[in-house]
Structure 1
Amino acid sequence: MPVRKRFRIEEAIVGHMPEPDFVGGEIGPNHKEIMDELRAIRAQMANAIRGGGGHSTTNAAIEESAQREVAEARALLETYRAQIEQCEKLKVELDLIHDAINRTKGEIATLHAKSFNGEEMAKVNGELGAVVGGTEQATQQILEAAEAIDNAASALGKVDSADQQKILSEEIQERVVSIFEACNFQDLTGQRINKVMTTMKFIEHHIVVMMDIWGGVDAIKAHVPPIVDTREGDARLLNGPKAEGDVGHASQDDIDAMFN
């Protein structure tokens, strides 16, 4: 009887099996060899199954690791996003500070150019000096005229000559006119003081603007140092002249009460 041809799949799975023995002139199965081959096939199938399970485990581990890395990357991205937002807020604050500094520099430059430079301050000092000088000159002129009037009035009662009386009367009239002229100093003084006040108001306006840039008067008050009177002796007692509404000054009644 011809030998059956083996297929390659059989050789790959069961290997080279020995040729079956002839029993009674026919091919008879060898029970032991068949069972061995079946066990070998079963073992190969089990190995294949175990190999497939290990591959699945490896894939699961890789997938878990990938998911963990993605989660870490997302957390890191959120951290960077939060830091970027903080940087943007900080940039906005720095821009505001930069703008405030530039505006303050502009106000200081304006004050320096129009108020604190030598020419403008010289004008202010000149106006105040002229006020003091004009007041002093007018006071001196009024006192001299008053003294001359007093002398002329005294002499007028002692002379009998009509000509002398006329001369004294004319002198008194001239001195009165001189007093009126001297009183005009208040008009010039008012004009000069108005010039000084205009400059002071200009300075005050720009100082207020700078205070508003940095939060207003209330914000500045928190940084104002306490006022300490460092004057000593008589200088500590001199607070006059008293302005209307000032407190802490002694009135004439208070002074008179000390001698009663």
Structure 2
Amino acid sequence: MPTAVRRQAAPRFREPVPTALVAELIEIADYITHMREAIAALRPNEMSRARIPMAHEELGSVVAATAGATNTIMEAAEAMLGLPDGPGYRAGVEARINTIFEACAFQDITGQRIAKVVEALQLFEGRLGRFVGAVKARDAADIDPAEQARRDRAQDLLLNGPQAVTETPSQDDIDALFA
């Protein structure tokens, strides 16, 4: 037999480990496991590598399509204004109007692209909501003061710009302002 290895006895606790401490450690381990599962369910790599870049690209395409269509419409309208009176006037106007109608088709394509972005954002929102529930995140009222200041400043600078349909003043309200 080989030389005997001297074994040291594992240190023993003089007092038994309180069961409350063991239960708390088990609860922490379960919480960590749950957190790992919740983070994995978010599929953050998919969101950062596929969904968010797609949303960015689609919104960029919407901006480009809208700008291109606007320029086409403006050019056609300017060309109509420059048409000389005479026998070819009606045909010239009709040709420019057809160009305007074609340019207005951008709305369908931009609508489809925006729908893709909305779908991606809804997916992200759903996953984030499940994650927030899983980690028992703090209430939204606990917003970072710097973030709240940024939001307040953005709201102050908005000057009642684009509004949701439900928040848009009626024509009667606007007329009352000028009365």
Q: TM above 0.5, one fold? A: yes
2:37 pairs with 1:116: no
In the aligned structure 1, how far is the partner of 2:177 from the partner of 2:111?
A: 38
TM-score (norm 2): 0.72
Rounded Cα–Cα distance in structure 1 between residues aligned with 2:22 and 2:59: 53
Change in Cα spacing, 1:258 to 1:201, as seen in structure 2 (3 Å) is: closer
1:184 equivalent in alignment to 2:116: no
Bigger Rg, structure 1 or 2: 1
Amino acid at match of 1:89: A
Partners of 1:239 and 1:204 in 2: CA distance:
26
Q: Percent of aligned pairs with the same residue?
A: 30
Given the superposition, is the C-alpha separation of residues 222 and 240 from structure 1 closer, same or farther in structure 2, using an over 3 Å criterion?
Answer: closer
Shift of 1:179: 1.2
* Total equivalences in the alignment: 162
Match of 2:9 in 1: none
Contact 2:73/2:99, CA 8 A, preserved across alignment:
yes
Instruction: Give the number of the structure with larger relative contact order, counting CA–CA contacts within 8 Å between residues 6 or more apart.
Output: 2
Alignment pair present for 1:130 and 2:130: no
The within-5 A match list for 1:98-247 is: 98-108=32-42, 110-111=43-44, 113-117=45-49, 120-152=51-83, 155-156=84-85, 159=86, 165=87, 167-215=88-136, 220-221=139-140, 223-225=142-144, 227-228=148-149, 229-231=151-153, 236-246=157-167
Deviation digits for residues 92-144 of structure 1 (CA, Å, limit 9, x no counterpart): 31133112321233145x12x11213x65433222111111111111121122
Q: Which runs of 5+ in 2 are unaligned?
A: 1-14
Return the TM-score normalized by structure 1. Answer: 0.52
RMSD (CA atoms): 3.1
